Chains A and B, each alone.
Chain A
Amino acid sequence: MADQPLVRLTIEGVPVSVPQGTLVIEAAKQAGVMIPHYCYHSGLPVAGVCRMCLVEIETTPKLQIACATQAAEGMVVNVLSAQAREARQGVLEFLLINHPLDCPICDQAGECELQDYVFQEGRSRTRYTPTYAKRFNPVEDFGGDVLYVPNRCILCTRCVRFMEHVAEEPILNVSERGDRAYIGIHPDRHLDHPWAGNVVDLCPVGSLLSKDFLHKARAWELDKTPGVCTGCSQGCNVNLDTRTDVVVRVRPRANLDVNQYFMCDHGRMQYRWMNRGDRIEAPLVAHGHELAAVSWDHAFARAAEIVRGTAGRAAVLASPRASTEALFLAKRVLGRFDLTAAFRVQRVSEEAPLIGVPNLALRSERAPNVTGATLLGYTEQFEVAVKALSGSAVVLVLDDPLEGVSADLLRAAGQVIYLGTVLPDAARAAHVVLPIANVAEEDGTFVNRDQRVQRYFQAKVGPGMARPAWWVLGELLAELKLGGPFGSAAEAFAWMAAEEPRFGGLSYQLLGTRGMVLPAGRPAGVGA
């Protein structure tokens, strides 16, 4: 874009310069003016069907649609002039003729663009008689997670264009015409494309709904926290929507370098485990054959005693769902041992790409931090590490679910320190159990498959005494006089950046909410 010539224009009295070919609606964003729109979406091809974006362009006799008009030198655009407002008011009036106005039972209420624009510039009263019989069509199940409420549809065709041009599986269309038009689905097909859930986010009104979220919460009750999807190594940017400390929905967060505006359905449904109730709520220390709850100080003292009092071989069994910080610190705790650090990851045979977006797919390795673990020297030889357990003096488990690892195998090792969110049966063989927060309850970073380091933020509070793994490991390091403690995830990351050359020069501030790719020239490590 940089080498393209700039054009200068004035929008609502604000002068802006934009590269040639920019649409007026995009140029207006630069001028700080939001032109009302329905069918336009930056991630979809332009359709120009809703006429909501009508604006007045001086020297052009008729009103123009801002989403399909390119900015030109010297253009003067009036968005709020009486003529433009009147035209848009007319568009809104047409949209409302057959709209059921059932906001009280509509899941979109509170984040609905029809509500917003009618409130902003619509007529306050209808000109239809109260007895006018509105068009009615029954609710239709589109399959997958999607429900279609035709009465609310404003026929913007965003859903149709997504399926046709982005997913490239054109199974939606506009059926019938005129005021009878509705969105039709191929009679033999369901919306079961692995990325079909995006049509629910794209729909500007409550016409396409998620069955999973149906009637669950009102938009204004939700707190949104930026996060990173844990579904696979693509690392789509998401928002976690929480209501009173329960994650109720995951939606994509725009990041043009990773997932644009989309996320897959697999990732979208990956949130229930964040609300698990069977969590470890206090540090536990083995007394004989029983685990007893103790204070953090006591647990750290006991864990430090274990690490200090042993020597020889040690193992870290880590989860590729742990934050980069935790993975780094876990190895540091056992720094002076002969260390085997391993993780395991579920791999499926096929990727599910979103064809219309380059380099975006539901990846086959189904964990968010495989690359982070590999960069930090963890190997995927989990089985080898498990076999070697019996000769290890210390084993540190970092949130691995221990499936297939029996308590007896763990008992064969010298001493076991278990950091986890839940307590699988095998973990009862541990000598010290330290409760940690899950991904929704802590700040941290993941490294995606393209070596992009991305931050995620704390969305809810952890249960009981559970603390972020970086804090727990930082305190343990401090107890061992090896570094730490850390007051924040940012401090833990800063220490890692100082110690680990691959992360050199990075900081939480630099990463921001979009993340940064690790400096080039360093070998990638994805795949075994």
Chain B
Amino acid sequence: MAITVKTVRRPEGEVSYLRATLKGMVVTLSHVFRPKVTMEYPEQKSTDDWTLSPRWRGTHRMLTDEQGRAKCVACGLCPQICPANCIKLVPGEDEEGHRYPLIYEIDEFRCIFCGYCQEVCPEEAIHVGVHYENAEYERSRFVYDLERLCAQTHPVSTLWDPSDPQGE
């Protein structure tokens, strides 16, 4: 049986690309006149109507007292509560005989940023931070020691609404 070929003629409007291109350009051009929603990270980190939540839980910061010493008294509650088991604490005494952490380290790789350590700390010493820029050249740098935790300057997380401390 001989093969027959049927030729279909499409309407002019459908085969021309010009129409679709122009339509697209109209959409693009119309956006030029709409308000901007993107942010120019990293130059710009927050805008008037968007900023990181104050309850953001990022890498830790250890608060210090007036003399610049860590507020931690090595009570052992945060290593106990930590579900990721990533806090290493060796208690000891400082020069004045006060209880003080000899070793305090947080492995930020193992941390799941639950914020329990901040919540459990009776001294308001360890905090999760409102912070997310953590790039390093070496993996080992992700274990933060006491000195490094104290040297952090980023704001700390507000785990609950200060106006409603009983609330969840």
Contacts and interface: CB of A to CB of B under 8 A. Distances in A.
Given A104-B75, A220-B76, A221-B80, 4 more contacts: A104-B77, A109-B75, A215-B99, A220-B80
Contact of A105 (B80, B92, B99): B99
Contacts of A215: 74, 91-93, 99
A47 interface: no
Contacts of B91: 215-218
Interface in B18-63: none
Tell me the dominant secondary structure on chain A's binding face: loop
Contact of B122 (A104, A214, A221): A104
B73 interface: yes
A217 B76 CA distance: 9
A215 B91 CA distance: 6
Contacts of B74: 105, 215
Interface in B63-79: 73-77
B123 interface: yes
In this complex, the interface size class of chain A, counting residues with CB under 8 Å from chain B, is 10 to 19
A217 B75 CA distance: 9
A103 B122 contact: yes
Interface of B: 73-77, 80, 91-93, 98-99, 122-123
A105 B93 contact: no
Contacts of A105: 73-75, 98-99
29 contacts: A103-B75, A103-B122, A104-B75, A104-B77, A104-B99, A104-B122, A104-B123, A105-B73, A105-B74, A105-B75, A105-B98, A105-B99, A109-B75, A214-B93, A215-B74, A215-B91, A215-B92, A215-B93, A215-B99, A216-B91, A217-B91, A218-B75, A218-B76, A218-B80, A218-B91, A220-B76, A220-B80, A221-B76, A221-B80
Closest 4 CB pairs of A and B: A104-B75, A218-B76, A105-B99, A104-B122
B73 A104 contact: yes
A351 B80 CA distance: 44
Interface string A99-112: 00001110001000
Contacts of A103: 75, 122
Contacts of A104: 73, 75, 77, 99, 122-123
A142 to B, nearest CB: 16
Nearest to A216: B91
Interface of A: 103-105, 109, 214-218, 220-221
Contacts of B75: 103-105, 109, 218
B43 to A, nearest CB: 43
Nearest to A104: B75
Contacts of A221: 76, 80
A433 to B, nearest CB: 35
A105 B123 CA distance: 10
Nearest to B89: A218
A485 B94 CA distance: 52
A50 B73 CA distance: 31
- Report which residue of A214, A216, A218 has the largest number of chain B beta carbons within 10 angstroms of its beta carbon: A218
A237 to B, nearest CB: 28
Contacts of B76: 218, 220-221
Contacts of B98: 105
B120 to A, nearest CB: 10
Contacts of A218: 75-76, 80, 91
Contacts of B93: 214-215
A104 B99 CA distance: 9
Contacts of A220: 76, 80
Contacts of B77: 104
Contacts of B92: 215
A104 B71 CA distance: 12
A218 B123 CA distance: 17
B16 to A, nearest CB: 78
Nearest to A139: B97
- Report which residue of A103, A104, A214, A220 has the largest number of chain B beta carbons within 10 angstroms of its beta carbon: A104
Contacts of A217: 91
B55 to A, nearest CB: 25
Nearest to A105: B99
Nearest to B75: A104
A323 B98 CA distance: 42
A119 B66 CA distance: 33
Contacts of B123: 104
A239 to B, nearest CB: 20
A218 B74 CA distance: 10
A218 B75 CA distance: 8
A221 B91 CA distance: 12
